[in-house]
Structure 1
Amino acid sequence: MTPRTGLVLIGAAGLALATVVILRPQDVPDRGEASAMVEVTVPELAGLATEGARAYDAFCASCHGENAAGREGIGPPLVHVIYETGHHADGAFVLAATRGVRQHHWTFGDMPPVPEASLQDVAAIIAYVRTLQRANGIF
C-alpha cells in the first residue's frame, strides 16, 4: 500500500465515522416521563378560562405541561414570574402561537408556531394562563 492509498483510506474512514456521528439517532426526551417544573394551584375556572383550559390541553400541554407547570427538559412553565403581564403581555402569547418564538429565557430551544390554534383558541388560552397565574400570586 502506498502512502497516498493509506491517506485516502484514513480520510474515507474519517468521513464514514463523521457520517455515523452526525446521523445517529438523537436523544429525544420521552414526553410521557417529564416531570412538572413548578407546583400550580388550580382555581375554579369560569367563562373564557374554562374554554382556554380545553384549548391549552389540546395545543400547549404536551410541551408546557399540565396546568402550565412546565415539563422538565421539554418546555417551560407559563405559571412563572417571567410570563407575568408586565414582562410578557398578552400580545407576546399571540405572537408565540402565530409566529413561534426564539429561545431567550430558557434552554428548551425555539418554540415553533402553533397554526392549528385559532386566534379564538389563543385568546381563551391566555385567559386560562392568566387565571392560573393570578391564583398562584403572579400578576
Structure 2
Amino acid sequence: MNIKQLTLLTLLAAGAAATYWLAMPHDTQDMGHSMTPADTSSLGSGAPIAEVALPAELTADAQIGKRAYEAKCAECHGANAAGQNGVAPPLVHKIYEPSHHSDMAFVLAARNGVRAHHWRFGNMPPVDGVTDAEVKLITQYVRELQRENGIF
C-alpha cells in the first residue's frame, strides 16, 4: 500500500467517525450526565433555582465583576447567579465548575451566544454591550460565588 492510499483510507476513516459522532444524540440530560440539572418542576416561574451562600468578602476584581453581572447578566441568570426558573440556569451549579466550563467558555458564551445543551431554557443569545474584559471580571465574581458554595 502506498502513501496516497494510506492517506485516503485515513481520511475516509476519520470522515466516517465524524459522521457517526455527529449522528449520535448529545443531549446530556437524557444520557444520565453526571452533572444533571436540578429538577425545577416545583418552582414557580422566575423563582431562583439555586440557594447561593455569599462570600464574606469579594476580591476587588470580583466586586467590579458583580456590578457588571448585575448590569448585564442578572436579568436572566438571577441575583447572585442563582438562575431563574423558566428563564436561565444558575451559574452557581456544578455544571459550570471550571473543569467543565472554563473561564473562556463564559467569554465565548457572552460573545457568541450558546446553543442549549444542559438546561431546557432555550439558546442563550450573545450579550450586547459587554466586553471580553468585563466578562472576565464577571467570571471572577461567579467563580468566587462557586467556591463559597463548594464548587471548585
Letter in 2 for 1:38: A
Pick the structure with greater CA Rg: 1
Q: How does 1:1-139 map to 2 (within 5 A)?
A: 34-43=46-55, 44-139=57-152
**Deviation above 6 Å: which 4+ runs of structure 1?**
none
Task: State the percentage of identical aligned residues.
Answer: 58
Deviations along 1:29-87, one digit per CA (max 9) or x if unpaired, are: xxxx6110010011111210000000000000011010000001000000000000010
Alpha-carbon deviation of 1:107?
0.3
Structure 1: give runs of 5+ residues left out of the alignment: 1-32
Q: Secondary structure at the match of 1:55?
A: helix
TM-score where L is the length of structure 2? 0.69
How many matched pairs? 107
C-alpha distance in structure 2 between counterparts of 1:92 and 1:68, whole Å: 16
Alpha-carbon deviation of 1:120?
1.6
TM-score where L is the length of structure 1? 0.75
Alpha-carbon deviation of 1:115?
2.6
